[in-house]
Structure formats: C-alpha cells, structure tokens
Structure 1
Amino acid sequence: MGSEAEIERVLWTEEEIARRVAELGAAISADFKGAVPSPVVLVGVATGAFLFLADIAREITVPVAIDFVRAESYGAGTESSGEPRISGDLKIDVEGKHVEDIVDTGNTLSRLMSHLCPDYFVVGYGMDYAELYRNLPYVGILKPEMYK
C-alpha cells in the first residue's frame, strides 16, 4: 500500500461505499429473485473490480456465479493508450443468460463518467497507481506529485 499521506483527500469514505454496495446488492437481489436462467453472472474487470465484486457478491441474496476478464490501457502509468487490451476469456458460458447492457457504447460511459466522478486521479477500493493503493478502504484523490 502507498502511504495515506500521499492521498490529497477522500472522495468516498469506506462507509459511503459500503452503504451504496448494500443498496445495489438489495436492488439486484430484488430484480433477479426467481429469475430464470439462474444464477446471476457477475463479471469483474480485473484487477480493479475485485474488491467491489467481492463486496457486491456478498450482498446479493440470489445465486451468483463469478468470472473475470482483464482489460488494460494504462500499463504502469497514468496515461491511457486509448486502446484497451482485453485478455482472458470468460470461463462461464453466458449464452442464453440475461445480460444487462448497462453501458452499450463508449460514448455513454464517457458521458456518465463526467457526471459521476470529477476529473481526479483516484485510487483505493481496488483502483491503483503503479499497483499501489488498491487496498485502501476508500476512494481517494492521489496527490499529483505522486504521479507526475
């Protein structure tokens, strides 16, 4: 873990994250109660999603299966290559399963991000800089001198 002294400020606290994850877990459980086919398939984008995926899976009360894919566009730096590299295939067959298309285009995701998270370099709760800070229990803004 990097030092907490390297964090400019906390954007979302551990408690805020836990509360929202519990709300999402309850909503997913209600939406998929009695759903066919079962189980709900959770796909995490490794490695940044592993903490959230573990937390949300524990909050969901219907059967779940979990898998991961890997997408990388940053390497060890802060500048995206612009072309995410996808590696690793799903081990779980999702054919015939309900797949929620929360984000159907990159444009949608880009617009959503501009409203959801201010333009800061954030770390913690699974997100990293140079493989550090993933284990912070909150999402914090990394001091610019740490990555510039």
Structure 2
Amino acid sequence: MNSDIEKVLVSEKEIDKTIQRLGKELTKEYQDKNPLFVCVLRGAAMFMMDLVKSLDFKMEYDFMDVSSYGGENTVTTGDVRIIKDLDTSVRGRDVVIVEDIIDTGYTLDRLVELFESRHANSIKLVSFLDKPARRVKHVDVDYIGVQIPDEFVVGYGMDYDEHYRNLPYVGILKPDIYSTK
C-alpha cells in the first residue's frame, strides 16, 4: 500500500503537533461552553477522535455522513447528499463542524446553511486540511490544521475508493492509481 504513495505530505509527528495546536485554540474559545462537535463522516473520523482527546472542556459530539462524490470519482459532483443525519438537535447550540479536508467548499457551505436553518446558536468550522486552490464556494474556516497544494491525498481517514484510510500519515496518491480506473 505504501508503494502507492508518491510522497508523504503530513507526517504522524506533524499530525500530532497540529492536533495539539488546534486543541489549545478550541479550548481557549469553548472553555466555558458546551459545544456540539459534528464529525463529517467518514474522512474526518480519525481527526475528530484525536482532536476531542486534546480538548479540555465539556462538549458533546455527533456524526453526520454526507457526500458530494459518487463511487470512485475523484471530482465532486457539487450535489451534497445527506446519507446519515445527526441524532442531536443543533437548535440553540454552539456547533463546531469537523472536516478532514476542504477543497471545493460545497460540503461545508451546505452544512452551514443546514445548521443555520435548524437555528444553531453559532457555527464554527474546523478542518484538518485546507486545499484553497480547489475552492469554488467561499466558506469561512475558523480553524485550519494544514494548508496543502492541489494534490490527491489519502491517509489519516481520507480515502480513494474506500482504501488508504488507515495510513497513519497524509500522502499524495500516485496518479496512475486513480487514473487507471
């Protein structure tokens, strides 16, 4: 599997440092609140679980599965579908949306719109990775882990065709892996 990776972009050590930094920033803002963290499945699951362990305040979390990709596509359709909705109401809550990566911005734009319509008290966005070169929809991201170039990345929860999520780092997938299908 490692032979499919062109280059390690974010090492395990860099991931740990990034999570500690974000945890401190979030703790400073939410220390006296009880926010609801919303993990966008499946890609953000590893990041979310590591992130919440670094937080030093009372909080709750829930999961939402959304998709703007179809099958083996490496390009978003722009049509964001809710596959699994939250079990927890966001009404009157301070909501923190946790994403693995922001590229086009379609998913986060749709989620912000949805939570606003459900009367969340506040909505903040946390993303482990940010790929601004691919941005189509403007979204204000409050907490960014690492800004990356426009490359197809996998690992640390992110996949190609449901593979590579278990890599402990973020790597650039060799183009011949995803261009041969």
What does residue range 108-123 of structure 1 map to in structure 2 within 5 Å?
108=139, 116-123=147-154
Aligned AA (1:122): V
| Higher strand fraction (1 or 2) | 2
Provide closer, same or farther for how the CA distance between residues 25 and 92 of structure 1 changes in structure 2, counting only shifts above 3 A: same
Unaligned runs of 5+ in 2: 95-121, 127-135
Aligned AA (1:96): G
Identity across matched positions, percent = 39
Specify the SS of the correspondent of 2:139. helix
Conserved in 2, the CA contact under 8 Å of 1:45 and 1:71? yes
2:23 to 12, 15, 25: 25
Quick one: higher RCO (CA 8 Å, sep 6+), 1 or 2?
1
Conserved in 2, the CA contact under 8 Å of 1:76 and 1:129? no
Q: Deviations over 1:62-112 (max 9, x none)?
A: 112111111112223212222121222211122111233449x93236xxx
Q: Does 2:95 match 1:64?
A: no
What does residue range 68-79 of structure 1 map to in structure 2 within 5 Å?
68-77=63-72, 78-79=74-75
Unaligned runs of 5+ in 1: none
When normalised by structure 2's length, the TM-score is 0.70
Q: Deviations over 1:100-128 (max 9, x none)?
A: 3449x93236xxx9x92211000001000
Conserved in 1, the CA contact under 8 Å of 2:9 and 2:171? yes
Specify the SS of the correspondent of 1:27. helix
1:85 to 55, 60, 81: 81
Give the Cα–Cα distance (whole angstroms) in 1 for the partners of residues 38 and 50 of structure 2: 13
